[in-house]
Amino acid sequence: MEKRQIIKKQYYRGLIYNRAAAMKKILPALIVSLTFLIGGEISVSISEDLVNEYLNLIGNYQIVTGNKGDQATWTIKNPRVKFQYGKAVFLTTILLEKGKTDIKKNIKRNIDVEYNSNKNTLKLVITDSLIKMERRGNVLGKIDLGSIYQSGLIFPGPKPSIDSFKLKTKRGKVKIRISTRGSYVYFEKDVIRLALDLEYE
């Protein structure tokens, strides 16, 4: 089990493909995560099955790029994820048809986790998502997997909705503040878990 400090990052901008409609169909039927508190640690878990249901809903993806007379057809087949101890990966097969040229490439990319504390959202990021298709050293085309799938890989985080509360004591009401000492990600079998280390003061 791998434990790493998460650095807050700004959200990726410029997504060119909106999967909001697809997510609206599956989110009511799928609880995106389980949040639980153990000691001073509160966490949220994203299951491999959940992410694969989203990818299965999209299915094989096809797009035509380029100008008339120089067009290329891209097909992304069988996209899926695999969560293991220590890492998570995105897998797919990409086909490029351009003129008389056909190229097939099996893709395996690591998945990273970004946590935005201000928005309390967790994002699964496909690393090195820009795929180049080459033949004899010439690049025939590029496609960005992040622009296709990234918008559906954002989930609510585990941060409590309040940052303080009042408690009655013999001395009267005392204000208890909740702060986060650190955020960590655990890559486990079939699950990615984001944990926050909370402190009460």
96 Cβ contact partners less than 8 Å away, ≥ 6 residues apart: 72, 73, 74, 102, 103, 104, 105, 133, 140, 141
Q: What is the pLDDT of residues 114-172, one digit of tens each?
A: 999 889 999 999 999 999 988 877 888 889 999 999 888 999 988 877 667 777 777 77
Residue-level pLDDT at 151? 87
Sequence spans of domains, the chain: 2-200
Q: What is residue 69's DSSP assignment? A: T
Residues of the chain with pLDDT > 90, as a percent, come to 43
Name the least confident of 13-27, 45-59, 84-98.
13-27
Residue 26 has pLDDT above 70, yes or no: no
Between strands 121-126 and 101-116, the pairing is antiparallel
Alpha-carbon gap, residue 63 to 72, rounded angstroms: 8
Residue-level pLDDT at 16? 27
Task: Tell me the pTM.
Answer: 0.74
Tokens of 144: 């960005």
CA contacts within 13 A on the Cβ side of 183 = 20
Q: What is the pLDDT of residues 135-151, one digit of tens each?
A: 877 888 889 999 999 88
Q: Which residues pair with 125 in a beta bridge?
A: 112
Alpha-carbon gap, residue 124 to 46, rounded angstroms: 10
Q: What is the pLDDT of residues 70-98, one digit of tens each?
A: 788 999 999 999 999 999 999 999 999 98
Q: Torsion-angle region of residue 118: left (phi > 0), alpha (psi -120 to 50) or beta?
A: alpha
Residue 35 has pLDDT above 60, yes or no: no
The answer to whether residues 112 and 123 touch, using CB atoms and an 8 Å cutoff, is no
Other Cβ atoms within 10 Å of 36 Cβ, number: 13
